[in-house]
Structure 1
Amino acid sequence: MKRIFASAMLALSLPAAAVASELVYQPVNPNFGGNPLNGSHLLGSAQAQNDFKDPNASSSSFERPSELDRLTSSLQSRLLSQLLADVGDGNEGSIVTDDFAINILDDQGVLSILIEDINTGEVTQIEVDGLVPDTF
C-alpha cells in the first residue's frame, strides 16, 4: 500500500504538460472598439455613479407652457405670418406683443422690418432690397 501511495505521490509531483493559449484583449467600451451593445449599460452605470450637482443650474425643472400660453404664442405667430404675407401686396403693418413691437414697411421695393424689444428698448432693423411685386 505504501508503494502505491508513493507512486501516486510521485506521479502527482511530476510536472504536467501545460496547455496555454494566446490571451487576446477585448475592450468593453464601444468607444475603444468594444461591443456597441455595451454603450447603454456603461452610460447608465456612469450616470448612476454621478453625484455631481451643478451649482448654477436652477432648482426647478422645465415647466410645460399652459394651454393659454401656447394659444397666445400660436396666434402671435399666425398674425405675424399674415402681416408678412400682406406686405407682399404693398401693405404695411405692425404687431405688438408682450415682448416685441414689430413694424413692417414696404417702400418702393425695399422691405424694412423694425423689431423693438419692449423690455430692453433695443431696436433691430432689417432691410431687404430688390423686392418687386410680380407683374404679369
Structure 2
Amino acid sequence: MKRRIVCLLGLAALLFTVAAPVHSTELVYTPINPSFGGPSSNGGFLLGAAEAQNKHTEGSSSYRRDPIDSFEESLVRRILSNLAGEIVGQAFGDYESLPEGHYEFGDYLIDVNNWDGLDLTVTITDVGTGNETTIEVPQLY
C-alpha cells in the first residue's frame, strides 16, 4: 500500500512538471566595451585595465633590425630563389645550361658543377655556420 502511494505521488509530480507551463525570456547581449556599443562610462575602466596589463614599454621592442642586414638577407633570398628556378628549368629542359662556377655573396658560397654534362651538382655552403648542402639534379629530357 505504501509503495502504491509513493508511485502515485511520483507519477503526479511527473505529470505536473510536464503539464505545467514554462515561461522564459529571450537572451539579450549587452556589450561592455564602448567601441562595440556599450556604455561610454566603461571606457576609462577598460583603458586602465589594459594599461595595467601592458608589459611593453616604448623602447623595449626586440624586433629592431638594421636595414642593411635586412637588405642583404632579402638579396640572398632573391638570388637563391633565382638559382632554384634555373636549376629546375635546366632539369626539365627550359634552359640551355646553368653556368658552372664558384659564386660568393653574403655568407654563402655556391659551386655549380656539370662535369658529365648530364647531372647538375650545386653545393651551397654557409660560411657563418659551416653548414653545407649539396643538390644533385639529373637531366630529365
TM-score above 0.5, yes or no: no
Pairwise TM-score range, normalised by the shorter structure: 0.3 to 0.5
Identify the structure with the greater helix proportion. Answer: 2
TM-score by length of 1: 0.44
Q: Relative CO higher for 1 or 2, CA cutoff 8 Å, sep ≥ 6? A: 2
TM (norm. structure 2) is 0.43
